[in-house]
Structure 1
Amino acid sequence: MWQSNSSCYWGRFPCTHFIPRSVFKLILVNSTSFFSKPNAKTELVKLPLFPPTDTNLSMRFGSLSCPNSNVGASRCHREKTCGRRNQGLRKLKVFMYDLPPEFHFGLLGWKGNKNQTWPSVDSHSRIPSYPGGLNLQHSVEYWLTLDLLASNNPKVGTAVRVQNSSQADIVFVPFFSSLSYNRHSKLHGKEKVSVNKMLQTKLVRFLMARDEWKRFGGKDHLIVAHHPNSMLYARKKLGSAMFVLADFGRYPVEIANLGKDIIAPYKHVVRTIPIGESAQFDQRPILMHFQGAIYRKDGGAIRQELYYLLKDEKDVHFTFGTYRGNGIRKAAQGMASSKFCLNIAGDTPSSNRLFDAIASRCVPVIISDEIELPFEDVLDYSEFCVFVRASDAVRKGYPSQPSDAVAMVWEAVLRKTSSVQFKRHRKNRFARSEALLKRV
Structure 2
Amino acid sequence: MVQKSMISLHCCSIPVLISSLLLSLLSFFVFHLSTLNTHHFLSLTHFSPLSNPNPSPQLNVFVAELPTSLNYGLLGEYWSLHDTRLGHEADAALRASGSSKMEFPPYPENPLIKQYSAEYWLLGDLMTPEKLRGNSVAKRVYRAEDADVILVPFFATLSAEMQLSQAKGKFRGKKENDDYLRQREVMDLVMGSEAWKRSGGRDHVFVLTDPVAMWHVKEEIASAVLLVVDFGGWYRQDSKASSGNSSGMIHHTQVSLLKDVIVPYTHLLPRLHLSEDAERHTLLYFKGAKHRHRGGLVREKLWDLLENEPGVVMEEGFPNATGMEQSIRGMRSSEFCLHPAGDTPTSCRLFDAIQSLCIPLIVSDNIELPFEGIIDYSSFSVFVSVSKAMEPKWLLGHLRSFLKEQRDSFRKKLAQVQPIFEFDNGHPGGIGPIATDGAVNNIWRKIHEKVPMIREAIVREKRKPEGTSIPLRCHCT
Q: Which runs of 5+ in 2 are unaligned?
A: 1-38, 79-101, 235-250, 394-429, 454-475
Residue 334 to residue 69, structure 1, CA distance change in 2 (3 Å): farther
Match of 2:135 in 1: 156
User: Aligned residue for 2:124?
Assistant: 146
Give the direction of change, closer, same or farther, for the CA distance of 1:417–1:212 in structure 2 (3 Å limit).
closer
Q: Give the whole-Å Cα distance in 1 for the aligned partners of 2:451 and 2:386.
A: 31
TM-score, normalised on structure 2? 0.66
Please name the residue that 2:444 is paired with. Answer: 410
Larger mean Cα displacement after TM superposition, 199-208 or 166-175: 199-208
Q: Encode CA deviations 1:345-376: one digit per residue, 9 max, x unaligned.
A: 01110100000000001000001212110011
Q: Distance in 2 between matches of 1:339 and 1:197?
A: 44
1:370 pairs with one of 366, 390, 412: 366
Q: Find out whether 1:273 has 2:272 as its counterpart.
A: yes
Match of 1:130 in 2: 107
RMSD: 2.6
Identity of aligned residues (%): 36
Offset of residue 153 of structure 1: 2.3
Bigger Cα Rg: 2
- Counterpart of 1:98, as a letter, is E
Which secondary structure state, in structure 2, belongs to the residue aligned with residue 178 of structure 1? helix
Distance (Å, rounded) in 2 between the aligned partners of 1:386 and 1:76: 15
**Equivalent position SS for 1:153:** helix
Superposed displacement of residue 77, structure 1: 8.3
Residue type at the aligned position of 2:275:
G
Instruction: Name the stretch that deviates more: 398-407 or 386-395.
Output: 398-407
Which residue is 2:54 aligned to? 85
Partner of 1:74: 45
Give the superposition deviation at 1:193. 2.1
Residue 175 and residue 408 in structure 1: after superposition, are their counterparts in 2 closer, same or farther (change >3 A)?
same
Q: Kindly indicate whether residue 151 of structure 2 is the aligned counterpart of residue 172 of structure 1.
A: yes
**CA distance in 2: counterparts of 1:77 and 1:268, whole angstroms:** 22
CA distance in 2 between counterparts of 1:76 and 1:278 reads: 21
TM-score if structure 1 supplies the norm length? 0.71
Tell me the residue number matched to 2:342.
346
Tell me how far 1:160 sits from its aligned partner: 1.1
Give 1:332 deviation, angstroms: 1.3
Unaligned runs of 5+ in 1: 1-67, 112-124, 420-425, 428-440
TM-aligned CA distance change 1:324 to 1:76, over 3 Å: closer
Give the 3 Å change call, closer, same or farther, for CA 418–216 of structure 1 in structure 2: closer
Offset of residue 269 of structure 1? 0.4
Cα 1:85/1:110, change in 2 over 3 Å = farther
1:194 aligned to which of 177, 187, 199? 177
Q: Give per-residue Cα distances to partners, 1:128-171, cap 9 Å, x unaligned.
A: 10001221110000000000111612411110110011110000
SS at match of 1:308: helix
Counterpart for residue 292 of structure 1? 288
Q: Out of 326, 333, 336, which is 1:330 matched to?
A: 326
SS in 2 for 1:128: coil
Counterpart of 1:380 in structure 2 is 376
- CA shift in 2, pair 1:143/1:73, >3 Å: closer
Q: For the Cα contact (< 8 Å) 1:222–1:244, is it kept in 2?
A: yes
Q: Tell me if 1:359 matches 2:355.
A: yes
> Residues 315 and 76 (structure 1 numbering): CA distance in 2 closer, same or farther, change over 3 Å?
closer
SS of the residue aligned with 1:181? helix
Q: Letter of the aligned partner of 2:123 in structure 1? A: T
Change (3 A) 1:77 1:361: closer
1:138 is paired with a residue whose SS is: coil
Residues 367 and 262 of structure 1: is their aligned pair in 2 closer, same or farther, counting only changes over 3 Å? Answer: same
Aligned to 2:62: 95
Cα deviation, residue 297, structure 1: 1.9
- Would you say the 8 A contact 1:349–1:368 is kept in 2? yes
Taking a change above 3 Å as real, the CA distance of residues 257 and 153 of structure 1, as seen in their structure-2 partners, is same
Give the secondary structure class of the aligned counterpart of 1:296.
Answer: coil
1:246 touches 1:265 (CA, 8 Å); kept in 2? yes
1:301 equivalent in structure 2: 297
Aligned partner of residue 130 in structure 1, secondary structure? coil
Q: Secondary structure at the match of 1:107?
A: helix
- Structure 1 Cα separation of the partners of residues 198 and 450 of structure 2: 20
2:216 alignment partner, one of 220, 225, 233: 233
1:411-426 matches, cutoff 5 A: 411-416=445-450
Amino acid at match of 1:104: N
Question: CA–CA distance in 1 between the matches of 2:312 and 2:69?
Answer: 47
- Aligned-pair CA distance for 1:73: 5.9
Aligned to 2:255: 256
Letter of the aligned partner of 2:131 in structure 1? N
Instruction: Give the SS at the match of 1:202.
Output: helix
Q: How many residues align?
A: 334
Aligned-residue offset at 1:277: 2.2
Distance, in Å, in 1 between the alignment partners of 2:176 and 2:75 is: 20
Contact 2:284/2:336 (8 A) holds in 1: yes
1:258-289 residue CA offsets vs partner (Å, 9 max, x unmatched)? 1110000001101111333221xxx2011110
Deviates more, 1:337-346 or 1:101-110: 101-110
Letter in 2 for 1:267: T
Shift of 1:104: 0.3
2: CA distance between counterparts of 1:69 and 1:180? 47
Which runs of at least 4 in structure 1 moved beyond 3 Å after TM superposition? 68-73, 75-79, 185-188
Provide closer, same or farther for how the CA distance between residues 344 and 76 of structure 1 changes in structure 2, counting only shifts above 3 A: closer
Bigger relative CO (Cα 8 Å, ≥ 6 apart): 1
Q: Equivalents in 2 of 1:382, 1:173: separation in Å?
A: 34
Note closer, same or farther for the CA distance 1:259–1:151 as it changes in structure 2 (3 Å cut).
farther
2:160 aligns to what?
181
Whole-Å Cα distance in 2 between the matches of residues 249 and 204 of structure 1? 23
Q: Does the Cα contact within 8 Å between 1:293 and 1:321 map onto a contact in 2?
A: yes
Q: Secondary structure at the match of 1:85?
A: coil
CA distance, structure 2, for counterparts of residue 303 and residue 151 of structure 1: 46
